[in-house]
Amino acid sequence: MRVSVELEPGSAEAAGILAEWRTAWGVIADGDAVELADADSLVALLDLRTRCYHQGLTVNAVFPDNL
């Protein structure tokens, strides 16, 4: 499942969190999208939310294949 994720507000810290998350859960797909295993997609997104929650970051996720 491809997902494109953006963290707001953008910062170096947000970019680092997103990079660590991408490395842990997915394979980089086209552009800034990440390819997640179907069985892991919900757990991966919940992990990202947890990583961002205490940092005051908003997670914006778009599933480009569903547009």
What digits encode the pLDDT tens for the residues 26-56? 777 666 788 888 888 899 999 999 999 989 9
| Percent above pLDDT 70 for the chain | 93
pLDDT at 65 over 90: no
| Mean per-residue pLDDT of the chain | 88
State the DSSP code for 65.
G
- pLDDT at site 12: 94
pLDDT at 67 over 80: no
- Long-range contacts of residues 12-16, Cβ cutoff 8 Å, at least 24 apart: 13/55, 14/52, 14/55, 14/57
Q: Do 49 and 25 contact (CB within 8 A), yes or no? A: no
Name which of 25, 33, 48, 26 is nearest 3 in CA terms.
Answer: 33
pLDDT at 7 over 90: yes
The Cα 12–Cα 26 span in angstroms is 20
